């Protein structure tokens, strides 16, 4: 299914209780033809209000990291989340909420066919890379899964809480750029 058609369907989704509390579904956004896909956790307050991923303080920091690595949602990446509706008070999405939402993400993978998937933060890394994924230990490591290179990095909200990890996060985004170039992806 095409992304636009998928989005239309997703905007009407009421599969899980998170749909009841949302202002907007945050389906995802990015460059057409993006070969790099980012998967965050779920919408926060600003994202819920605007219907767009990573537009609050975390998003501003994420955009800075991306820019430093020749990446941007306008040019060459697509950004989505594990869950498309805001969890109350920005709590972590529950496993059952993620399970009810993951078919949308799978369909996004199918439509976009990314070569690289970056898990932004623990929640998506543990669901998509491995249940015991530890960001502090495994950030920046690429692993291949079903022909796609996957990597987990720090969530920008975690960097805002603990700026000590900023350099490490920065290095991860540069590694994404380098890996993309290695694969012949034009940035
Ligand atoms: N945090 C996320 O994980 N995703 C967003 O879209 C915004 C903040």
The count of C-alpha atoms lying within 13 angstroms of the C-alpha of 72, restricted to the half-sphere facing its C-beta, is 7
What is the CA(80)–ligand 1 centre distance, in A? Answer: 8
Kindly list the distances between the CA atom of residue 88 and the CA atoms of 108, 129, 134, 135, 174, in Å, as whole numbers in the listed order.
24, 26, 25, 24, 33
**Atom of ligand 1 minimally distant from the CA of 58:** 8
CA of 54 to the centre of ligand 1 (A): 5
Model-level pTM greater than 0.85?
A: yes
Res 1: pLDDT: 86
Task: Give alpha helix (H) positions in 113-162.
Answer: 122-128, 135-138, 156-161
What pLDDT digit, counting tens, does each position of 32-62 carry?
Answer: 899 999 999 999 999 999 999 999 999 999 9
Q: Ligand 1 — pocket residues by CB below 6 A?
A: 26, 40-44, 47, 53-54, 58-59, 81, 121
Question: Of 174, 91, 100, 102, which Cα lies nearest the Cα of 139?
Answer: 174
pLDDT digits (tens, 9 = 90+) for 86-125: 999 999 999 999 999 999 999 999 999 999 999 999 999 9
Q: Which ligand 1 atom lies nearest to the CA of residue 41?
A: 3
- Both structure tokens of 128: 């998509």
């Amino acid at each position: 299914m095409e992304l636009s058609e998928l989005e239309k369907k997703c905007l009407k989704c009421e599969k899980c209780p998170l749909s009841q509390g949302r202002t907007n579904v945050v389906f995802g956004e990015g460059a057409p033809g993006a070969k790099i896909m980012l998967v965050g956790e779920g919408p926060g307050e600003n994202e819920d209000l605007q219907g767009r991923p990573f537009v609050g303080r975390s998003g501003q920091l994420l955009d800075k990291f991306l820019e430093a690595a020749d990446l941007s949602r306008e040019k060459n990446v697509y950004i989505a989340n594990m869950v498309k509706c805001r969890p109350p008070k920005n709590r972590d999405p529950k496993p059952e909420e993620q399970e009810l939402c993951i078919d949308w993400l799978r369909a996004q993978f199918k439509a976009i066919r990314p070569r690289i998937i970056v898990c932004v933060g623990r929640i998506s890394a543990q669901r998509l890379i491995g249940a015991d994924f530890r960001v502090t230990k495994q950030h920046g490591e690429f692993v291949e899964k079903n022909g796609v290179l996957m990597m987990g990095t720090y969530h920008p909200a975690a960097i805002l809480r603990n700026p000590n990890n900023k350099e490490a996060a920065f290095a991860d985004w540069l590694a994404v750029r380098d890996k993309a170039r290695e694969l012949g992806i034009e940035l």
